[in-house]
C-alpha cells in the first residue's frame, strides 16, 4: 500500500473524507444513535405527562366541590355512627339509659338482656327493664330517651302503682321512696350496624339479674 504522503493531493483528501465518514458512521451507530433514542423516549414520556396533566387540569374547578362533598359525607357518617353504632359495647347503652334515668329522677332498677336479632344490615339488641319513680319523672325519662341521637325503641310498656306492682309484672319489689308513685316495665331495643353475638349482648348482665347501681 502506498504511503499517505506519496498519494496525490486529491487522493489524500479522499482518504481524509473517507476516514471522517467512517468515524462519523461509527459514532452515529454507537453514541449518537443511542442518545437520539434516549431523547426520543424522554420526549415521548414528556408528551404523555403533559397530556395526563391536561386531562387532570379539567378536574381542578371541581376539586373544591369534591372536598366539600367528602366533608359532608364524613359528617354524615359520624352522625350515623352515633345513631347506629358499629361497636359491640353494650355496657355503654345501659350506662346511657341509667344516666338519663338519674337526670329524669327515676330509679332504673333492673335490666336483663334478651336474645339479639340479626337483620341484613343491623342487629337488634333488646333489654327488659324495670324502673320506678314519680309519675312525671317517668314521663320525663321516656321523653329524654326519645330525643337521644342513638335509636332506642320502647315497647311492651306496663305501668302500675307502687301499691300494686304486680300489674306491671316486675320481677322484684323494692323499698320505694314516699314520692314514688309508679312502677314500669318495658323492653328497650337498641341497634348495632354489625353482627353481635348473644354472649356479647348479655355481657352487661345475666337474664333476671338486677342491674348494678
Task: Report how far residue 192's alpha carbon sits from residue 124's, in angstroms, rounded to the nearest whole number.
Answer: 7
- Least confident segment among 74-83, 94-103, 106-115, 184-193: 74-83
- Three cell numbers written together for 132: 320506678
- Three cell numbers written together for 151: 335509636
Tens-digit pLDDT profile for residues 119-171: 777 788 899 999 999 999 999 999 999 988 888 899 999 999 988 888 889 88
Tens-digit pLDDT profile for residues 98-116: 999 999 999 998 888 888 8
- Three cell numbers written together for 3: 504511503
Average pLDDT over residues 36-51: 78
**Its pTM surpasses 0.75:** no
Task: Report how far residue 87's alpha carbon sits from residue 74's, in angstroms, rounded to the nearest whole number.
Answer: 18
pLDDT at site 45: 80
Superfamily of the domain at 90-201: Ribosomal protein S6/Translation elongation factor EF1B (3.30.70.60)
C-alpha distances in Å from residue 24, one per residue of 14, 17, 27, 40, 80:
15, 10, 5, 21, 75
Residues in the chain: 213
pLDDT at site 102: 93
pLDDT at site 71: 67
Amino acid at each position: 500500500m502506498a504511503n499517505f504522503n506519496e498519494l496525490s493531493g486529491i487522493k489524500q483528501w479522499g482518504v481524509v473524507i473517507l476516514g471522517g465518514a467512517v468515524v462519523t458512521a461509527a459514532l452515529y451507530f454507537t453514541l449518537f444513535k443511542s442518545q437520539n433514542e434516549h431523547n426520543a423516549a424522554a420526549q415521548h414520556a414528556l408528551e404523555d405527562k403533559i397530556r395526563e396533566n391536561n386531562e387532570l387540569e379539567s378536574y381542578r374547578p371541581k376539586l373544591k366541590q369534591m372536598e366539600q362533598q367528602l366533608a359532608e359525607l364524613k359528617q354524615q357518617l359520624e352522625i350515623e355512627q352515633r345513631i347506629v353504632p358499629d361497636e359491640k359495647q353494650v355496657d355503654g347503652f345501659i350506662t346511657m339509659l341509667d344516666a338519663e334515668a338519674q337526670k329524669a329522677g327515676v330509679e332504673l332498677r333492673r335490666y336483663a338482656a334478651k336474645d339479639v336479632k340479626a337483620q341484613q344490615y343491623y342487629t337488634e339488641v333488646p333489654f327488659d327493664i324495670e324502673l320506678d319513680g314519680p309519675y312525671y319523672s317517668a314521663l320525663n325519662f321516656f321523653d329524654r330517651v326519645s330525643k337521644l341521637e342513638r335509636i332506642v325503641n320502647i315497647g311492651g310498656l306496663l305501668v302500675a302503682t307502687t301499691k300494686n306492682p304486680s300489674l306491671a309484672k316486675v320481677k322484684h319489689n323494692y323499698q320505694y321512696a314516699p314520692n314514688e308513685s309508679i312502677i314500669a316495665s318495658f323492653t328497650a331495643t337498641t341497634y348495632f350496624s354489625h353482627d353481635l353475638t348473644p354472649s356479647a349482648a348479655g355481657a352487661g348482665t345475666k337474664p333476671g339479674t338486677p342491674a348494678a347501681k
